[in-house]
Chain A
Amino acid sequence: MGAPVSGAPALSAAHLSKTFGGERALDDVTFSVLPGEVHGLLGQNGSGKSTLIKILSGFHHPDSGGELKIYGRDVGLPLAPGQFRRHGLAFVHQHLGLVPSLNVLENLVVGDLATKQMGYINWGDLRRKALETFARFNLNIDPSSRVADLPQVERALLAIVRAFEDIRAEQTEHGTPGILFLDEPTPFLPKEGVDQLFALVRGIVREGASVVFVSHDVDEVMEITDRATVLRDGRVAGTLVTAEADKDGFIAMIIGSRVEPFQAIPQDFGTKTADITIRGLTGGSLENLSLDIHKSEVIGLTGLIGSGFDEIPYMLFGAKTAEAGTLVLDGETIDLSKTTPGDAIDRGIAFLPADRLGAAGVGELTVTDNMTLTVLPQMKAPYGLNRGAMRERAAKLGTEYDVRPNAPLMKLASLSGGNQQKVLLAKWLQTNPPLLLLDEPTQGVDVGARQQVFGAIAQAAEQGAAVICASTDYEQLSQICDRVFIFARGKIVQELRGSDVTKDRIAEQTLLSLSLSGSRQAAPDSTGVQA
């Protein structure tokens, strides 16, 4: 572990443990964060990251014997909930903690309103301060717009700025800079949003504060952090200086051994006649889109924010109504301006949305309930639904897709993100869909489960499914896709296939996509196809 350059570290935690009913979730964890440092905290789901964060935020009481020092000051454990604020700590969780129906300014000052007695609220003054703050970080957010109307990226930025301003206010009390914890802030952001968020993080450490960045995205950690602590099975697996580490080293430390990353061999379907054709799809930001897909082919759709690629799965499934367009599947023509999810399912189309517990599955219902929803007609016994058969099916799929733990009666929400995704993928794949639509299929899924999700997708394709995957995770696209289409302004501007389907190539072409769609019409026929 690197020794502090001068004086005490911003935060040093020693011998933190937490036992839940005999099971050690956190085992003698010791780590430190230096002043002005961006410190990564990495690990798979279940590695103890969230337990650690919850101890520091006072949500969990640690086992006795732990120590916590902030700028050399001894902080007694356990912390009472909310007490962290007085020590200059602030937390931004994935759900951000904003009130969507209130405006930006109201959200910004909600902490003050809650803790201070203010007889008169000077809104004009608060607004001026908010604008000053935004200007400091180069943010262009209107304090009077409703948070619900902001793009996801700006909401995340707002939550971070708010947390940072809270600890800046505390600075006056102890005279030391604060420590900001970002608990997986990026999974729901598009690539561009992540860049904005990182610019903000850099701005914050420039002002002297430290940032702890919790993530399981190794690339992001390598981009933004100075050092990173890796947790595995509740223990510290090691702390790395980011500049001296490589990606394989990180991954090996996270999972304990080197994984062979999944890699499908891109197939070239060349001029083979398409099995599924999309014609004239218009609606949202999409304009007259046409696309041909083959059976057993995996197609990736990507682009910058607002390019419209992410609307395609929704429209093909009838979850968002298109203005016009047709989909030909198995010789049958579907009018996309009229179709509904029910129609789509009747034709065998399956769709796994990105919002895992909001749109794909119900967290408070069991794994069995969630898995069997798509096959209820098969579960009929003479006297009604056969509950035993439903449980058996769930257990069988659980084994097949390696859901851990394979407990059909467990609530879906109790599983880790990766295992939830395996359950939801199984929910659809058991119907043997001829067309599988995916939207960000591995968001918030840990490294190990990611490979399994890819394996399941590849297997579905092998059995004849055509797969369309919308994603901004270029690495993922390069691992599973035969062809990748890059979108800008509602149109395809580039098609990558064969050896061009690599992470770097997709990233580069996406960054160029706006210039490709520029004044001249995109001409994928002449410039796009590079076999």
Chain B
Amino acid sequence: MTDDATGAAPKKSPRKWGRELERYALVIAWVLLILFFSQVAPDSFLTWSTFSSIIFGSQAVLLILTLALIIPLTAGDFDLSVAAVLTFSAMLLAILNAKLGWPLWGAFLLCMGMGLAIGLINAFFILFFRIHSLIVTLGTASIIQGLILWVSGSQTLTGVSNTLIEWVIVKRFLQIPLAFYYAIILAAIIWYVFEYTSIGRRLLFVGRGREVARLSGISVTRVRAGSLVASAMLASFAGIINGGTTGGADPLSGLTFLLPAFAAAFLGATAIFPGRFNPIGSVIAVFFLVTGITGLNFLGVDTFVQNIFNGGALIVAVSASQLVRGREEQGIA
């Protein structure tokens, strides 16, 4: 059964310090990263405009997508289709609004409806046929990608309504585009739901102990389906913001968000509430990744470094948190 030692261990203060250190390790790493780049590229890097436009301002889409991912991840499911849904949503928006002249609200509704539908399709195959979410969403991602190429004729579309662009990146508060605040508000809502509602508790129990959840009267199927629908709809929303950021849509670039979003979700799960996917950790993780990549760009490093940085940061951070905890098994996934 239980190790005799662990019962007494949490009282120990070195261990407690380790835990506190672990909670804020990512924040500390972020600060160190900023200090590092401000030393090597002093005049250009450490300015408010770098932070307002690039670090905080440019990555609202990635942030929303990361937030979308942590919901099914908390319930124990992977959603690999989010990046495809994002791209599809941006493409639908561009086609309906720019090409067919639909009003923005109509295009929004359809995009969100598309997210809802894909979430339900994912949920149906995962829950009814009991197929692993990784497989189902890998499949739907590819199907959606095919649909995008088909409806767009593999073309990049532009000409999305200026109103959207204005409300996403042109209007600013403290010089930071509004999109950033949308993402932060979303993070706050998810934090509230995770921490202060019964739904959040149920989500957690479903992810950590399906049988326990079932025998405690939680409708596991409904919770998992809900989390998949939520992730797909949030991905659609990220697509709309992406449309407003770029003023149009192209059939491929949205897919590059998938790895950084997963990296940020797992990296975020090592911070604030270590071992749990959490929105505050995710926000910090996104800023950490973006700071690193922006700093490297300032140093004139090639763009391929982005991939190396994203992947490397994930593995290093998770390994570090594992060391702090004395290699007890990670509760993630």
CB distance from B200 to the nearest CB of A (A): 8
Stretch of A356-364, A476-484, A485-493, A508-516 lying at the B interface: A356-364
Among B4, B5, B196, B218, the one with the most A-chain Cβ atoms within 10 Å of its Cβ is B4
Partner-B contacts on A (CB < 8 A): 20-23, 25, 45-51, 54, 60, 94, 184, 317, 319, 340-342, 344-346, 351, 353, 355, 358-362, 364-365, 369, 372-374, 376-377, 380, 383-385, 387, 405, 407, 410, 413-417, 420, 444
Q: A360-B212, A374-B216 are in contact. Are A50 and B205 (CB under 8 A)?
A: no
Query: Contact at A46–B7, with CB atoms within 8 Å?
Result: yes
| CB-defined A-B contacts under 8 Å, sample of 18 | A20-B8, A20-B9, A22-B12, A25-B4, A25-B5, A341-B217, A358-B212, A359-B215, A364-B208, A365-B204, A365-B205, A365-B209, A369-B201, A376-B198, A384-B192, A413-B6, A414-B10, A416-B2
Complex: chain A residue closest to B196, CB-CB: A384
A374 and B164 CA atoms in complex are apart in Å by 45
Query: Contact at B217–A416, with CB atoms within 8 Å?
Result: no
A380 and B198 CA atoms in complex are apart in Å by 9
Contact with A along B1-35 (1 / 0, CB 8 A): 11111111110101100000000000000000000
Query: Contact at B209–A362, with CB atoms within 8 Å?
Result: yes
10 closest A-B pairs by beta carbon, nearest first, are A384-B196, A345-B217, A362-B209, A376-B198, A342-B217, A21-B12, A359-B211, A362-B208, A417-B1, A20-B5
A407 and B331 CA atoms in complex are apart in Å by 21
Q: A369-B201, A385-B197, A385-B198 are in contact. Are A25 and B8 (CB under 8 A)?
A: yes
Query: Contact at B205–A414, with CB atoms within 8 Å?
Result: no
Q: Which of B3, B14, B208, B215 contacts A353 (CB 8 A)?
A: B215
20 other A-B residue contacts (CB within 8 Å) besides A47-B4, A361-B212, A407-B10: A20-B9, A21-B8, A25-B4, A50-B4, A51-B3, A342-B219, A345-B216, A353-B215, A359-B211, A359-B215, A360-B215, A362-B208, A362-B212, A364-B275, A365-B204, A373-B201, A410-B10, A414-B7, A415-B7, A444-B1
Query: Contact at A387–B196, with CB atoms within 8 Å?
Result: yes
Complex: chain A residue closest to B192, CB-CB: A384
Query: Contact at A51–B5, with CB atoms within 8 Å?
Result: yes
User: Which residues does chain B contribute within 8 Å of A341, judged by CB atoms?
Assistant: 214-217
User: Which residues does chain A contribute within 8 Å of B219, judged by CB atoms?
Assistant: 340, 342
User: Which residues does chain B contribute within 8 Å of A383, judged by CB atoms?
Assistant: 196
User: Which residues does chain B contribute within 8 Å of A414, judged by CB atoms?
Assistant: 2, 6-7, 9-10
Query: Contact at B197–A384, with CB atoms within 8 Å?
Result: yes
A192 and B5 CA atoms in complex are apart in Å by 33
Query: Contact at A361–B209, with CB atoms within 8 Å?
Result: yes
Contact with A along B244-288 (1 / 0, CB 8 A): 000000000000000000000000000000010000000000000
Query: Contact at A376–B211, with CB atoms within 8 Å?
Result: no
Among B8, B197, B217, the one with the most A-chain Cβ atoms within 10 Å of its Cβ is B217
B185-209: which residues lie under 8 A (CB-CB) from chain A?
192, 195-198, 200-201, 204-205, 208-209
A358 and B197 CA atoms in complex are apart in Å by 24
Query: Contact at B209–A319, with CB atoms within 8 Å?
Result: no
User: Which residues does chain A contribute within 8 Å of B195, judged by CB atoms?
Assistant: 384-385, 387
Partner-A contacts on B (CB < 8 A): 1-10, 12, 14-15, 192, 195-198, 200-201, 204-205, 208-209, 211-212, 214-219, 275, 331
User: Which residues does chain B contribute within 8 Å of A353, judged by CB atoms?
Assistant: 215
Query: Contact at A51–B4, with CB atoms within 8 Å?
Result: yes
A365 and B213 CA atoms in complex are apart in Å by 12
Complex: chain A residue closest to B201, CB-CB: A376
Query: Contact at B331–A359, with CB atoms within 8 Å?
Result: no
CB distance from A409 to the nearest CB of B (A): 9
Q: Which of A184, A345, A376 contacts B1 (CB 8 A)?
A: A184
Complex: chain A residue closest to B10, CB-CB: A410
A506 and B204 CA atoms in complex are apart in Å by 42
User: Which residues does chain A contribute within 8 Å of B6, judged by CB atoms?
Assistant: 413-414
User: Which residues does chain B contribute within 8 Å of A373, judged by CB atoms?
Assistant: 201, 205, 216
CB distance from A457 to the nearest CB of B (A): 18
CB distance from A489 to the nearest CB of B (A): 27
User: Which residues does chain A contribute within 8 Å of B1, judged by CB atoms?
Assistant: 45, 50, 94, 184, 416-417, 444
User: Which residues does chain B contribute within 8 Å of A51, judged by CB atoms?
Assistant: 3-5
How many residue pairs, one in A and one in B, have C-beta atoms under 8 Å apart? 118
CB distance from B330 to the nearest CB of A (A): 10
User: Which residues does chain A contribute within 8 Å of B15, judged by CB atoms?
Assistant: 21
A50 and B2 CA atoms in complex are apart in Å by 8
User: Which residues does chain A contribute within 8 Å of B205, judged by CB atoms?
Assistant: 362, 365, 369, 373
User: Which residues does chain B contribute within 8 Å of A359, judged by CB atoms?
Assistant: 209, 211-212, 215
CB distance from A369 to the nearest CB of B (A): 7
Complex: chain B residue closest to A359, CB-CB: B211
CB distance from A343 to the nearest CB of B (A): 8
User: Which residues does chain B contribute within 8 Å of A49, judged by CB atoms?
Assistant: 4
Query: Contact at A385–B201, with CB atoms within 8 Å?
Result: yes
Among B1, B7, B211, the one with the most A-chain Cβ atoms within 10 Å of its Cβ is B1
User: Which residues does chain A contribute within 8 Å of B192, judged by CB atoms?
Assistant: 384
A196 and B212 CA atoms in complex are apart in Å by 31
A373 and B203 CA atoms in complex are apart in Å by 11
A405 and B6 CA atoms in complex are apart in Å by 12
User: Which residues does chain A contribute within 8 Å of B196, judged by CB atoms?
Assistant: 383-385, 387
A262 and B4 CA atoms in complex are apart in Å by 26
User: Which residues does chain A contribute within 8 Å of B211, judged by CB atoms?
Assistant: 355, 358-359
User: Which residues does chain B contribute within 8 Å of A345, judged by CB atoms?
Assistant: 216-217
Query: Contact at A364–B201, with CB atoms within 8 Å?
Result: no
Complex: chain A residue closest to B12, CB-CB: A21
Complex: chain B residue closest to A414, CB-CB: B6
Among A60, A362, A376, A414, the one with the most B-chain Cβ atoms within 10 Å of its Cβ is A362
Complex: chain B residue closest to A60, CB-CB: B5
A373 and B223 CA atoms in complex are apart in Å by 15
A84 and B176 CA atoms in complex are apart in Å by 62
Complex: chain B residue closest to A94, CB-CB: B1
A184 and B211 CA atoms in complex are apart in Å by 24
Q: Which of B8, B201, B217 contacts A344 (CB 8 A)?
A: B217
CB distance from B57 to the nearest CB of A (A): 31
Query: Contact at B212–A416, with CB atoms within 8 Å?
Result: no
A407 and B6 CA atoms in complex are apart in Å by 13
Query: Contact at B204–A405, with CB atoms within 8 Å?
Result: no
Q: Which of A22, A47, A50, A317 contacts B3 (CB 8 A)?
A: A50
Query: Contact at B4–A46, with CB atoms within 8 Å?
Result: yes
A385 and B192 CA atoms in complex are apart in Å by 10
CB distance from A442 to the nearest CB of B (A): 13
User: Which residues does chain B contribute within 8 Å of A94, judged by CB atoms?
Assistant: 1
CB distance from A226 to the nearest CB of B (A): 25
User: Which residues does chain A contribute within 8 Å of B331, judged by CB atoms?
Assistant: 364
Query: Contact at B212–A417, with CB atoms within 8 Å?
Result: no
A464 and B211 CA atoms in complex are apart in Å by 28
A100 and B219 CA atoms in complex are apart in Å by 28
A47 and B4 CA atoms in complex are apart in Å by 7
User: Which residues does chain B contribute within 8 Å of A365, judged by CB atoms?
Assistant: 204-205, 208-209
User: Which residues does chain A contribute within 8 Å of B12, judged by CB atoms?
Assistant: 21-22
A118 and B275 CA atoms in complex are apart in Å by 40
Query: Contact at A21–B212, with CB atoms within 8 Å?
Result: no
A184 and B192 CA atoms in complex are apart in Å by 43
A365 and B215 CA atoms in complex are apart in Å by 16
CB distance from A258 to the nearest CB of B (A): 24
Query: Contact at B2–A417, with CB atoms within 8 Å?
Result: yes
A23 and B331 CA atoms in complex are apart in Å by 27
Complex: chain B residue closest to A355, CB-CB: B211
User: Which residues does chain B contribute within 8 Å of A376, judged by CB atoms?
Assistant: 198, 201
User: Which residues does chain B contribute within 8 Å of A317, judged by CB atoms?
Assistant: 215
A385 and B198 CA atoms in complex are apart in Å by 7
A264 and B125 CA atoms in complex are apart in Å by 52
User: Which residues does chain A contribute within 8 Å of B4, judged by CB atoms?
Assistant: 25, 45-51
Query: Contact at A351–B8, with CB atoms within 8 Å?
Result: no
A374 and B2 CA atoms in complex are apart in Å by 25
